[in-house]
Amino acid sequence: MNVLPFTRPSIDEATIAGVAEVLRSGWITSGPQVKAFEAALSKRCGGRAVRAFCSGTAALEVGLRLAGVGPGHEVVTSPLSWVATANVVLETGARPVFADVDPRTRNLDLAAAEAAMSPATRAIIPVDLAGLPVDRDALGALAARRGLRVVEDAAQSFGASWKGRPLGAFGDLVAFSFHANKNVTTGEGGALVLPDPALAPTCEKLRLQGVVRTGEDGMEVDLLGGKWNLTDIAARIGLGQLARLEEFTARRRTLARLYFAQWDRALGCELPPEDFEQSNWHMFQVVLPADRPRARFIARMRELGIAVGAHYPAMHLFALYRHLGWREGQFPHAERIGRSIATLPLFPAMADADVARVCEAARKALA
Ligand SMILES: Cc1ncc(COP(=O)(O)O)c(C=O)c1O
């Protein structure tokens, strides 16, 4: 049987032809396409400086470094995210500190985040799970009150907005991901929006081995950087994708509306907040009733021709984080949602009829 995936990128023929041109051009690593991609991203982020990376993870880590995060610091974040969110904190030598999520939005509960802060807290990483923005007004107020830097994990929320302003166009440091599953993809890739263009030279150094070139043959290294540049091949995919961002977001919103219209409320699942203005609908996720094991639901849905994802288990319960002292019972909302959240198919090329198929299969699977 043809299984409906939970996501699939939409790469058009013009983009494929553009990538072929790059491959024939003789310059395939970071070059003119990356510059053009960064300029196009900057335009979407209110003209702010943007630098492209080989992953969202790299963008987040450089964001933390630019925020001055390092050994002895704590960074408060959500346990309900892709594990990259906390792993990058460990990479800087700082300590990730988790706080529970709001069960309605599934995003970091900012009151719980504030309660988890200590004098060592240097920064906060809000995560826009499934593309639903964290309250940017409350976030900005909290950061100002506590004197904290913010590194927005907007990996899933490119194309989303807050009160009419695109994410990335305001705030402190903002990291996007262009991983294959994201609304806009470069295969693998990411970007970091800078609050001040004066940070760009250091950002570029951190991105590529700390190297600064001058004149015809000058080279200096005065800090340790990574190897985190994006290729021109990837950037050309991104340029083709960016041109279709509005179309993609609109289609995702339409599909999300169809889910709300057709989902059987009697199944007892928790639906996401009905936000058709701000969320980019990166994922459509339901939380299953506690007596319906997710693994069984996933297996049954597959039999019915529907792929279902699990994004994400609460990360403080991974062995790496348990070894750092985190344990079960600390974040009941994140733990419950992490056990029972299920990602249903949603991607621009999906047909309206596919939503009906998913809803019907779920009715059978949960019966
Ligand atoms: C919430 C979140 N944070 C960080 C990342 C890391 O991005 P990447 O996979 O591009 O490194 C992802 C993407 O998978 C993500 O979903």
- Per residue, the 3-state secondary structure of 208-223, as one string, reads ECCEEEECCCEEEECC
Instruction: Give me the catalytic one of 35, 43, 182, 364.
Output: 182
Pairing mode of beta strands 95-98, 74-77 = parallel
Pocket test for ligand 1, best of 101, 156, 230 (most atoms within 8 A of CB): 156
CA dist., res. 367 & res. 268, Å (int) = 11
Q: Which residues of 38-51 are buried (b: 16+ CB within 10 A; e: fewer)?
A: bebbbebbeebbbb
Q: Which atom of ligand 1 is nearest to the CA of 190?
A: 10
Q: What is the mean pLDDT of each run of 10 residues along the chain (367 residues)?
A: 93 98 98 98 98 99 98 98 98 98 98 98 98 98 98 98 98 98 98 98 98 97 98 98 98 98 98 98 98 98 98 98 98 98 98 98 97
Q: Does 177 contact ligand 1 (Cβ within 6 A)? A: yes
- Residue 1: the pLDDT is 67
Q: Which atom of ligand 1 is nearest to the CA of 59?
A: 11
Pocket test for ligand 1, best of 57, 158, 182 (most atoms within 8 A of CB): 57
Q: Does 62 contact ligand 1 (Cβ within 6 A)? A: no
Contact 287, 269 (CB under 8 A): yes
- Nearest-10 Cα torsion for 188, 185, 190, 144: -150
Contact 28, 34 (CB under 8 A): no
Q: Which atom of ligand 1 is nearest to the CA of 188?
A: 10
Contact 267, 366 (CB under 8 A): yes
Pairing mode of beta strands 161-162, 165-166 = antiparallel
* Closest residue to atom 8 of ligand 1, CA basis: 56
Residue 152 main-chain phi, psi, to 5 deg: -70, 125
Distance 53 CA to ligand 1 centre (A): 12
Q: Which atom of ligand 1 is nearest to the CA of 178?
A: 10
Distance 177 CA to ligand 1 centre (A): 6
- Residue 71: the pLDDT is 98
Q: Does 127 contact ligand 1 (Cβ within 6 A)? A: yes
- Residue 2: the pLDDT is 85
- Residue 194: the pLDDT is 98
Contact 151, 171 (CB under 8 A): no
Q: Does 155 contact ligand 1 (Cβ within 6 A)? A: yes
Is this model's pTM higher than 0.75 or not? Answer: yes
- Residue 120: the pLDDT is 98
Q: Does 81 contact ligand 1 (Cβ within 6 A)? A: yes
182 is a catalytic site residue: yes
Q: Which of 304, 317, 313 is closest to 363 using CA atoms?
A: 304
Distance 260 CA to ligand 1 centre (A): 27
Q: Which residues of 131-168 are buried (b: 16+ CB within 10 A; e: fewer)?
A: bbbbbbeebeebbeeeebbbbbbbbbbbbbbbeeebbb
Distance 153 CA to ligand 1 centre (A): 8
Distance 294 CA to ligand 1 centre (A): 23
Q: Does 57 contact ligand 1 (Cβ within 6 A)? A: yes
Q: Which atom of ligand 1 is nearest to the CA of 129?
A: 1
The vertex-362 CA angle with 83 and 264, nearest 5°, equals 110
